[in-house]
Amino acid sequence: MKIFTAEQIRQWDSFTISREPVSSIQLMERAVEALAGWISENCKNHKKIAIFCGNGNNGGDGLALARILYTKGFDTDVFVQNPKGKFSDDASVNLKRLRDLSGISVREFKEADHYNFDTKTIIIDALFGTGLSRPLKGVFKELVEVLNEENCIRISVDIPSGLPADHIFEDDTVIFKADYTLSFQCWKKSFLHPETGKYTGKVIILDIGLHKGYLQTQVTHDFVIDGKVVDSIFKPRQEFSHKGTYGKVTMAGGSYGKIGAAVLATRSAMKIGCGLTFILAPKCGYEILQISCPEAMFTEGGEECLEYFPVEEDMVYGIGPGMGTNEQTEKALLKFLKEYHNPLVLDADALNIIAKNQKNLDLIPKKSVITPHPKEFERLFGSTENSFERLKLAREKAAEFTIYIVLKDHHTQVITPQGKVFYNITGNAGLAKGGSGDILTGILTSLLAQGYYEENACILAVWLHGRAADLAAEKYSKESMLPTDVINEFGNVFEELNKRTTVKL
C-alpha cells in the first residue's frame, strides 16, 4: 500500500471529484458513511457520543457524522467553537442539515467543562485534519488538554487533531490522544513513527472509493507492507524440488554464555525453510547446539568465541547473534568481509564490530542486509534528533553503501538502496524481548538462501516475523510470549500464506 503526503491526499480528492460524477460534499458523505458504519458496528455498547468539530472539512465530517449516527440510534451531541462562526463550504452545508434535526444540540466548546462525560461516552475528534500546518494554540489547545483527561473512549476522524501527517512538531505540542483513528484510504507517515504514532491508538483504514487511477500513477517512495504485497512476493514450495533447491545457510554467532542467540537464529533459519543449515560457533556451544538444533551441521570456529570464518561462495551467511566483540572475533570478521563478496545478513555484534571504525562500512558486500535497532544504527551512522531524521539518514546510507537497512522499531522499516521505505505493520510489543532480533536474522538469511531478491526477502521477513508474533500473542499474551513461541508459529503463518496464494479450482 502506498503512503501519500497530506498534499498528495488532497490532490487525490480533487482527482476523484474531477474524474467521477461526484461533488466534494458527496465525497464527504461517502467518507462519513464509512465512519458511521464502523462506529455502529464496533461501538454497540456505547450509545452516547460527543463530537467536537472544527470549522474546516474535518469538522464537516464530524457534523455529517453526528447526523448519520443520530439516525442510527445514538444519543449525539455536537460541540463547535462558535455556531455562528465561519465554516468551510461543505461544513456549512452539513451544519445546516444538522440544524434541521430537532434531536441534536449544537453546543460551544466552553460547555464541555460542564458536560457529563461518563464511561459510556465516546468522544469523537473532528477538529483538524491533515491540513494542519502548525501546533494547536488557544482554545483548541485547551480543549484537547481537557478531552485527553476524560476517562472515555476517544476516536479521531482521519488523524488526531494536532498531529501533522508527514513530519513531527516540537516535543511540547498538545495532540489529541486517540484510542482509535479512523483514517481514509491510506496510512499517514506520522502513524508509523514512535514519537507521533503513540497518539493514534489502533489505526483503521477505511476505503472511501477514491479514484484508483490516481493510486496507480502517483509516485511515492513510502509504502506499508500489506497482505497484497506479501502474497505477490511469497513463493510456495514446489513439489519437484530437493534440499539443494532451497540454498545453504551458515548462521555465525554465539560465544561463552551467549549460545542461546545462535540457537534462536539457527532454529529460525531452519523453520523458514532453507535446504541446508550450518552453525558456525565456538566449541563451548557444541553440545547445546547439537541438542537444540539436530538438523543443523556444526562448524567449530574457536574455543569460547569465533576466531575463524570459512569462506564459501555458494553459502549465505547470517552473522552476529551472541557473537561478542572481542579482539579475535573482530579480526576474524573483518578478514572474512574482505574476502567474501556476496550479499549477507549482519546483525548485533557484527554491526557493533563494524561500528568501531567508519572505514569498516566499506567492507560490507553490496546488496547485503543490516538489521540495526536504533542504538546500533546510532553507533554505525551517528545520532539524530528523532525517528524521522533517523529514517532520512538511513535512506542516505543505504544509497551510499548499496545496502538494505532493516531498521528495527515498533513499525520496522525496510530501506532500500533506491530510497524506498517499506513500513511493517505486523508485530506487537511482545517482541520487545531479548532474542527477537536473532529470530529475524535467521528469517532473512534463510529467505536469501532460498533465492528471494534482497528487497523481497526483507519485506517478507519482517512481515513473517511480525505475523508469527501476533499469533503467539493471541495464545500466550504479549507479556508472556517468548521468542521460541514466535518460531513455533512460523508453520501457521506459512499455512495462511499457502491458503491465500495456492490456485484453487
Task: Kindly list the domain boundaries of the chain, sorted by start residue.
Answer: 6-220, 231-500
Residues 6 or more apart whose CB falls under 8 angstroms from that of 334 comprise 353, 360, 363
| CA gap 358, 361 in Å, rounded | 6
Find the radius of gyration of the CA atoms of the chain: 26
- In words, the CATH class of domain 231-500 is alpha beta
Distance CA 151, CA 290 (A): 54
Compute the mean pLDDT over every residue in the chain, rounded to the nearest whole number.
94
Contact 435, 263 (CB under 8 A): no
- Give residue 421's pLDDT: 98
Q: Which amino acid is at 278?
A: F
C-alpha 429/C-alpha 472 separation (Å) is 11
Residue 116: alpha-carbon gap to chain centroid:
37
Look at the domain 6-220 and name its fold: Rossmann fold (3.40.50)
Cell of 26: 458527496
DSSP line for 332-363? HHHHHHHH--S--EE-HHHHHHHTT-GGGGGG
Q: What nine digits make up the cell of 128?
A: 483538524
Which pLDDT does position 505 carry in this prediction? Answer: 47
pLDDT digits (tens, 9 = 90+) for 131-190: 888 999 999 999 999 999 999 999 999 999 999 999 988 778 999 999 999 999 999 999
In tens digits, the chain (505 residues) has pLDDT values of 999 999 999 999 999 999 998 999 999 999 999 999 999 999 988 889 999 999 999 999 999 999 999 999 999 999 999 988 899 999 999 999 988 887 788 999 999 988 989 888 999 999 999 988 899 999 999 999 999 999 999 999 999 999 999 998 877 899 999 999 999 999 999 999 999 999 999 999 999 999 999 999 999 999 999 999 999 999 999 888 888 888 999 999 999 999 999 999 999 999 999 999 999 999 999 999 999 999 999 999 999 999 999 999 899 999 999 999 999 999 999 999 999 999 999 999 999 999 999 999 999 999 999 999 999 999 999 999 999 999 999 999 999 999 999 999 999 999 999 999 999 999 999 999 999 999 999 999 999 999 999 999 999 999 999 999 999 999 999 999 999 999 999 999 999 999 998 865 4
Number of Cβ within 10 Å of residue 80's Cβ equals: 24
Q: pLDDT at position 503, please?
A: 65
Mind listing the pLDDT tens digit for each residue in 336-389? 999 999 999 999 999 999 999 999 999 999 999 999 999 999 999 999 999 999
User: Tens digits of per-residue pLDDT, 99-111?
Assistant: 888 778 899 999 9
Residue 45 Cα to chain centre, angstroms:
30
Whole-number Å distance between alpha carbons of 327 and 353: 9
Which DSSP helix (H) or strand (E) runs through 57?
Answer: helix 57-71
Backbone phi, then psi, for 407, in 5-degree steps?
-90, 105
**CA–CA distance, 14 with 30 (Å, rounded to integer):** 15
Residue 11's identity, in one-letter code, is Q
Give kind and range of the element (H or E) at residue 281.
strand 276-281
Give CA–CA dist 1/3, Å, rounded.
7
